[in-house]
Amino acid sequence: MSKKRVHELKKQLEEQGIELSNHELVEKLHALGYDVKSHSSSLEDDQASTAFERIVGERKPKPAPVRHAGPGFVVRKHARADVVAPPPPVAAPAPQPQPAPEPIEEAPEASPVAPPAPAAAPVDQPPAAAASAAPAPQPQAAPSGAPAPQPAPAAAPVQATPSASPVAAPPPATPAGVTQRPAQPMAASSQTPSTTPPAPKPPAAPPVDPRTLRPTSTQAVVINRPLVPVRRVTPPSSSRQSYPAAPGPRALGEVREFKVVPGMLGREREIIDVSKRRGRGGGRPASETQQALSGKELLQAAISDRAYVPIRGKKKKPTKKGAKTQVTERAEHKKVIRVEESISVSELSQSMGVKASDLIRKLMQLGTMATINQLIDADTAALLATDFGFTVEKKGFEVEEFIPEVEVDESKLVNRPPVVTVMGHVDHGKTSLLDAIRQADVAAGEAGGITQHIGAYSVQTPKGPITFLDTPGHEAFTAMRERGAKVTDLVVLVVAADDGVMPQTAEAIKHAQAAGVTILVAINKIDKPGATPERVMQQLTEYKLVPEQWGGETIMLPVSARTKQGVPELLEYIALQAEVLDLKSNPETLAAGHVIEAKLEKGRGPVATVLVEEGTLRVGDAIVTGIHYGRVRAMMNERGEQVKEVPPGYPVEVLGLSGVPVAGDEFNIVEDEKAAKEVAAHRAEKARQKELGSVKRATLEDLFAKSKPGGQKELNVVVKADVQGSAEAVSQALQKLAGKKVGVKILTSAVGAITESDVLTAAAGKAVIVGFNTKPETKVEQIASQQGVKILQFSIIYEAVDAIRTEMEDLLEPIIKEKPLGKAEVRQLFSIPKAGTIAGSAVTEGVIKRSAHVRIVRERKVVFQGKIATLRRFKDDVKEVAQGFECGIGIEGFTDLKPGDVVDAYELEQIRQSLE
């Protein structure tokens, strides 16, 4: 293998245009790891050729990276500052020439480098395209401060190359810091890197045809993805011309340049639109802007233009910048909100296009704390709406459309029987009196002899038919009495002559007077020895009821239900009064009236006792009452006979309703069942809204009070009764028991038999079931015992009230009270094996019991408190030792007894708490 001397290698390098002194070459070879000492040192042939290639490789420019060549790399060419790049080929209005930016002015010596490598804007721009550009500014060395016309796409600032030989010495630093490969020779052509020798000196460069200008690799901004030309599909006509055309055989329109970098956590990619900067900077070409920016600034600018693109899924549509939301005013006629009964805050906010939070704030200002789902009534909604320029129109479901008010047709009015309600205190003889009138004996058949639901009877008297309503006298049935007073023409107030005016007498007077109904007083039981009708009359004057015989207006008749004394006179007076009232109605209109009572019967379903007040009620009529509706399937009179028609003034039982109606509700007959259903549904919705609106939220204090161990206890009750009025009365009576110590909560109150569902409700709510005049269905009792639910059944209301009071008292902790027993004085102490210390004592007071609790008192101080362990007289265990006797007392857990100690014995007593 031949050898080569260092100086030979030097010559070889010179042939390649690389001039190095022998000393420099020796040093270089040293640096490359060769052991050479001087220019005459020799290298192996292969070593010499490797060294040659390495030095040439270092000094020669590397071939410019070909576009798309390297994965993940993009070379973006930038126009040299000192060479004016041709304007975009087709883009007609070429950007205005601008003064050369600072970095260029600082690098006048770099100009010689420029001619062989004129910077063209886009890297792919063919010379032909460049040539077509109209104003082709002459490439020239930009003198200091001389304005160098720059086309818009001019690229990054050219590196300041102080060295005259850029090939030999790469520029130490670039002014703008954009070029990321300072080692790359500037003069290298991207197309002919190996063949084009670098210009060693910058002689006066000949004028260069811009068409031949190619970008230099050193002017490239290296980013890690290929340039993505984006074709604007429908460029706006106004801006179409202002974009530079993309290179290639056809102009693509706007060219956008993107940098793709991995996003956070690698879950997405960021695309940085690096071309966006062009349009900014007050109209200055992007290149100039970029030239003026440092590398860091450019990076920041790029970051600001980032767009995140998820790897999977659809690319999000970028929001159109600058496209402001159009605020449109709503037409006046559209500023009307239709509200039925109430509207939720969220609904109102949506209807007005106002934030719900704004409405809530307004409501707070009005003193109402509301949530977004809370219902507010139409009036409050109207108040709020006004503030936002809206008006509220009460939409309202017009029940009148279905139940029209009928004008009174005088010609069709006929007499109807009077409706008389019998009222009075409990046991004053109301039912007995009615029995006497009807010649029936209902009172005898009543449980406990008390009336517990309203009864309606049509009685044929010698003076014509009279409809009687019998009301209970017990205080629990206030609502029934009130209802009775409202639907009646006359009230017969029964007062027992031997008892006088009592609380429910007074209450009945109040109801009748409130309803503006004439009162007729029947002073009953005048057959009784202690009867004093005058005293009753006297008492009644206090209620503004002055008897006729005393110059007043109230008819007061002494009667006896037992002997029927005064009953015919009573009927006569009723008839007389009815005549005075001239009671008439039109039997030809659609029927209407009131529900007197309602119940649920097995096999018959809901049964309503109604009083027809207007029109004639017929089988087949479409009926609606409250939230229930249906078609009248059958009707029965008070004797249980089926009837087809019921004229006004008569009571009747109606079958066919969808549910058990509420006693006291009005009933109406409508066109058809569909209309009845609509009315009922509307009422149900209204009731629901009302209920929602009135939901009282538990306050923190309530919850706190309930969670406290000593907090108020509550008895939950499920009420089931035979009739609706009784269920209501029982519930009310039980609720009245609620006090400070124990509350009562009626979970449900309904009519019908006690069902499995009632048991489950009670089990869930830890409630007792109160059945009133009703029984559990088959197997229900068994389920109840499995579930641990107590069923209490009653047929008399006060028994129910008493039992529930006991249940409530059971919830209360008993009061523990100390009961003194006696005292014993310790005289002597004995120590007995197994038994411990025994105090030989004398009982000085009361009695000492074996089961007693004791206090050991020494010098007036309690030294121990506990229980007696042993009590003996002589050797026998005894239960108690009375005063004056001696005994041996052993104390549980206490042996430190001393003579002179007093054993103070007492018992603990449990006292049941009362509700009061």
Ligand X SMILES: Nc1nc2c(ncn2[C@@H]2O[C@H](COP(=O)(O)OP(=O)(O)OP(=O)(O)O)[C@@H](O)[C@H]2O)c(=O)[nH]1
Is 511 one of the binding residues for ligand X (CB under 6 A)? no
- Smallest separation (angstroms) from ligand X to the CB of 792: 21
Cα–Cα dist 618/591, whole Å: 8
**442/675 with CB nearer ligand X:** 442
**472/776 with CB nearer ligand X:** 472
Binding residues for GTP: 424-431, 470-474, 524-527
Is 841 one of the binding residues for ligand X (CB under 6 A)? no
Stretch of 250-258, 443-451, 849-857, 886-894 contacting ligand X, by CB under 6 A: 443-451
Stretch of 252-260, 306-314, 555-563, 720-728 contacting ligand X, by CB under 6 A: 555-563
Segment 470 to 489, residues that bind ligand X, using CB under 6 A: 472-473
Pairing of strands 391-394, 336-339: parallel
Is 858 one of the binding residues for ligand X (CB under 6 A)? no
- Smallest separation (angstroms) from ligand X to the CB of 496: 8
**798/885 with CB nearer ligand X:** 798
Q: What phi and psi values does residue 165 have, to the nearest 5 degrees?
A: -110, 90
Exactly one of 28, 67, 259, 525 binds ligand X (CB under 6 A); that residue is: 525
Stretch of 322-330, 357-365, 448-456, 638-646 contacting ligand X, by CB under 6 A: 448-456
Strand-pair partners of 716? 745, 767
Is 443 one of the binding residues for ligand X (CB under 6 A)? yes
Is 247 one of the binding residues for ligand X (CB under 6 A)? no
Segment 123 to 162, residues that bind ligand X, using CB under 6 A: none
**502/600 with CB nearer ligand X:** 502
- Smallest separation (angstroms) from ligand X to the CB of 572: 19
> Which two tokens mark 41?
């040192």
**29/496 with CB nearer ligand X:** 496
**451/586 with CB nearer ligand X:** 451
Q: Are 350 and 337 in contact (CB under 8 A)?
A: no
Cα-Cα-Cα-Cα dihedral of 721, 723, 726, 730, to 10°? 20
Cα–Cα dist 882/904, whole Å: 13
Cα–Cα dist 811/462, whole Å: 58
Stretch of 104-112, 295-303, 383-391, 559-567 contacting ligand X, by CB under 6 A: 559-567
Site map (CB under 6 A) of ligand X, residues 392-431, x = contact: --------------------------------x-xxxxxx
> Which two tokens mark 916?
């009061």
Segment 722 to 781, residues that bind ligand X, using CB under 6 A: none
H/E stretch holding 586 reads none
**510/562 with CB nearer ligand X:** 562
Number of residues in contact with ligand X, rule: CB under 6 A? 21
Q: Are 45 and 2 in contact (CB under 8 A)?
A: yes
Pairing of strands 880-882, 876-877: unpaired
In the chain the first and final C-alpha atoms are separated, in Å, by: 126
Exactly one of 190, 560, 585, 658 binds ligand X (CB under 6 A); that residue is: 560
> Which two tokens mark 198?
């670098």
- Smallest separation (angstroms) from ligand X to the CB of 534: 17
* All residues at 6 or more sequence positions from 837 whose CB lies less than 8 Å from its CB, including other chains: 829, 830, 831, 890, 895, 896, 897
Is 564 one of the binding residues for ligand X (CB under 6 A)? no
Is 900 one of the binding residues for ligand X (CB under 6 A)? no
Is 569 one of the binding residues for ligand X (CB under 6 A)? no
Cα–Cα dist 764/717, whole Å: 12
Is 67 one of the binding residues for ligand X (CB under 6 A)? no
Stretch of 103-111, 384-392, 560-568, 749-757 contacting ligand X, by CB under 6 A: 560-568
Chain residue whose CB lies nearest ligand X: 473
Q: Are 120 and 213 in contact (CB under 8 A)?
A: yes
Cα–Cα dist 327/126, whole Å: 50
Cα–Cα dist 796/450, whole Å: 8
Helix orientation angle between 724-736 and 478-487, rounded to the nearest 10 degrees? 130
Cα–Cα dist 910/348, whole Å: 60
> Which two tokens mark 906?
């007492």
Instruction: List interacting residues with ligand X (CB under 6 A).
Output: 424, 426-432, 443, 449-451, 472-473, 524-525, 527-528, 560-562
